[in-house]
Structure 1
């Protein structure tokens, strides 16, 4: 049942082999065996944990001395049908993943290919002979996270829950879902979303079924459906997790909770609304490592990054970040605050909601029931001796007026505003009723941004754009350009895209722009003046990423259409 490149059979003891070949001493082995008895962990893991042997040394030893081949799971894509030969619970317990099958021989990647208990388990479950190959523990765990979609599967015609992706459908049977069914289903929904890199989960009841959709890279995808009989249990489970009122079904509710995925802690915001078929729930997944990025990873190019640094290091004034919901404005603001916050500054924010706790920053949550709004909170902040202020969003004249006066009285103020581009943001402030001379003096700069989908590096296709397309994009003077388009593979789940990156336009308010704001000039005139000084539009920033091969024409046009329309008005 067990074969490693035809060289090993029977029950081989890893520790004795390592001593025999001089990799570790007998004393080190005894230490490791003693620790193994206490922790219950595998010997190989304990040896690495104690620092007696590195994972690389172990793989080299197994390859050279025992002729056990290694495999790079970053380069080899396991067959999805083969992966399903063993349950995820077994794969995680033994830290193994099936890679391929030839006849009745199953190739199994594992960090310890001499673990006969793991091999016997997999052989018994799969009914196959096992060809063990070695890979790093990190690679195996990453592959398990990547290729397993659910925790337990069993084919059954009477399935309650259907999981679907672009590549497969799997069924959860009634028996599996019987005990703690809502708990299991909610865990699976969240697990699927984490694996998909989803930003939001939509749990939607309709007349016949419960539909689950994940928003991945800005696009909603249906990933599973369940019988409507599961709806009430799922809603109650999520409300309990978020400490919401489970008896209240007719009014919207908001809350939050956290989950530990094993690799990271994810904060989840929950919003419920009543619909004609029952309560719909949207979960927003907030992963700290995704929102707290360095300035070099925001997406600024070599021209815009110095402008960004110059603005955020000014002692006072206002910096506005513009864009629709979901365009990455919070990430930009949090990154800026993370850069400038230190023990010599009093940094205070008023947010709705507070998405992440920032170091050296005093964060206030908007709470209308307690009388804490953006405007009232901002007034209170000004009595707290602040150096830097962040207002989550400027929605009305009152908040805008207080923010402008704060910027003019020696404070550095950051905020967001829902406008399409940078030039129209200045005009929007005037429309709110702010005196033009005050707005022009307060605003240091405006950053407009969008998130554009990135092409999957594993499957993107190169092509030569037509002369008509180049002309439409304003690139007719470069006829030999090569573009890339999406194709679809297992890495990107057939979408052709994987991840997103921001594109920016940065408008620094110089003397000419100030004069135009004072004169209440339309956005088009402000834009033209900025273009003469090297201003680059969102569309131009997107075109640069197309030329670099990072994204597609369609992806850029999709997120910049509104900005171009606004610029033409």
Structure 2
């Protein structure tokens, strides 16, 4: 078990999957967003490994029929430095025993510097300008595992000064940040995002971070907070920035409230970064570049790279990840469109006219800079 945990840190894994099957047991790590098998321990160790992890996570060992959640904190020494590791543990009963998934929450991997997340300079300016506003709503959107939490944490770290009161409602609290009042949700006793938000409004906050807007109630209180002089940061699951507006309206928020409360929406994805050690140029037909979204002019001059795989990147050709960002600042023209109930498509068209860089465009710019590959961008974005 110790080998599995320390090996996951060495390889830079974000998740560990321990899976029992009929004839074998397998351990997989998710590195840079991709799962790969790293070991197949003997089947006879199945129960021992699971029980050991459950004890470490303070779970009920006897309960094998129900899913359970816990946390493991480990202190260890690496390169003469003391390190603290934090794993979020989840068990689920499968046909052949319990499958354990652990999410590694490594503080050192948390990039709290906004300039290092992968924003284009223009998009970063817009984003920073809007989180510095005294009130309104800033929404970060994207699928699970697209780096939304990191972007939000970077934002509050930037805003975390002695003269501001920052309150966060999270499920779960992933990283502990000094100087910020973090509240862990507990659904079983009725402490959900909406209840926490209501309480926050009586706590004299300047900035409120809500882990996720899942329902009408949370959205309604969030909008109310944004309109009464608080800066509200939160996340949603939508495919791009403009469709976030439609999502809020579908939840039941009136268009005039959406138009007046939302300052900015940032959609994001994570793509793998080409390994700097084995990066080489790749021949790609012009037409393929044009099909991907480059103009004919750009296609003539753009150089495409990929990683051929080396020992540094475990023969994968990629090492680390970077973000793609679509930042839509809500200005007066967009507000008017929202008020008349314009569709996400119309909003998108208008925003692009005003210079919004779409997710695909952000990806193409990163490909042209040699930071990521065409496959990654085509996998994560649509035209």
TM score, norm. by length of structure 2: 0.96
CA distance in structure 1 between the partners assigned to 2:56 and 2:241 by the alignment:
40
Aligned to 1:520: 341
Local SS of the residue matching 1:494: coil
Q: Does 1:310 align with 2:129?
A: yes
Aligned to 2:371: 550
Aligned to 1:536: 357
Change (3 A) 1:285 1:374: same
Aligned to 1:213: 28
Q: Does 1:349 align with 2:168?
A: yes
Q: Are the equivalent residues in 1 in contact too, given 2:293–2:361 (CA < 8 A)?
A: no
Change (3 A) 1:292 1:470: closer
Aligned to 2:245: 426
Equivalenced residue count is: 377
Please state how far the C-alpha of 1:441 moved relative to its aligned partner: 0.6
CA distance in structure 2 between the partners assigned to 1:371 and 1:463 by the alignment:
55
User: Residues 27-77 of structure 1: CA distance to partner in whole angstroms, max 9, x if unpaired?
Assistant: xxxxxxxxxxxxxxxxxxxxxxxxxxxxxxxxxxxxxxxxxxxxxxxxxxx
Aligned to 1:104: none
CA distance in structure 2 between the partners assigned to 1:373 and 1:284 by the alignment:
22
Please state how far the C-alpha of 1:261 moved relative to its aligned partner: 4.1
Q: Does 1:288 align with 2:103?
A: no
User: Residues 342-375 of structure 1: CA distance to partner in whole angstroms, max 9, x if unpaired?
Assistant: 1211110000000111121111000012221111
Of residues 5, 14, 17, the one that matches 1:202 is 17
Q: Are the equivalent residues in 2 in contact too, given 1:427–1:522 (CA < 8 A)?
A: yes
Aligned to 1:477: 297
CA distance in structure 2 between the partners assigned to 1:342 and 1:472 by the alignment:
47
CA distance in structure 1 between the partners assigned to 2:114 and 2:76 by the alignment:
27
Please state how far the C-alpha of 1:252 moved relative to its aligned partner: 0.7
Q: Does 1:447 align with 2:266?
A: yes
CA distance in structure 1 between the partners assigned to 2:147 and 2:267 by the alignment:
10
CA distance in structure 2 between the partners assigned to 1:212 and 1:280 by the alignment:
10
Aligned to 2:44: 229
Aligned to 2:230: 411
Q: Are the equivalent residues in 1 in contact too, given 2:56–2:72 (CA < 8 A)?
A: yes
Of residues 376, 388, 391, the one that matches 2:210 is 391
Q: Does 1:330 align with 2:131?
A: no
Aligned to 1:248: 63
Q: Are the equivalent residues in 1 in contact too, given 2:160–2:180 (CA < 8 A)?
A: yes
418-427 vs 260-269, which deviates more?
A: 260-269
Please state how far the C-alpha of 1:443 moved relative to its aligned partner: 0.4
CA distance in structure 1 between the partners assigned to 2:212 and 2:77 by the alignment:
34
* Structure 1: gaps spanning 5 or more residues: 1-185, 565-569
Local SS of the residue matching 2:9: helix
Aligned to 2:188: 369
Please state how far the C-alpha of 1:465 moved relative to its aligned partner: 2.1
CA distance in structure 2 between the partners assigned to 1:470 and 1:326 by the alignment:
28
CA distance in structure 2 between the partners assigned to 1:545 and 1:491 by the alignment:
22
Q: Are the equivalent residues in 1 in contact too, given 2:275–2:313 (CA < 8 A)?
A: yes
TM score, norm. by length of structure 1: 0.65
Q: Does 1:379 align with 2:198?
A: yes
Of residues 319, 328, 331, the one that matches 1:510 is 331
Alpha-carbon RMSD = 1.1
User: Residues 477-504 of structure 1: CA distance to partner in whole angstroms, max 9, x if unpaired?
Assistant: 1313221023111111011100001110
Structure with bigger RCO (C-alpha 8 Å, 6+ apart): 2
Please state how far the C-alpha of 1:242 moved relative to its aligned partner: 1.0
Provide runs of 4+ in structure 1 moved above 6 Å: none
Of residues 307, 312, 334, the one that matches 1:491 is 312
Higher Rg of the two aligned structures: 1
* Structure 2: gaps spanning 5 or more residues: none
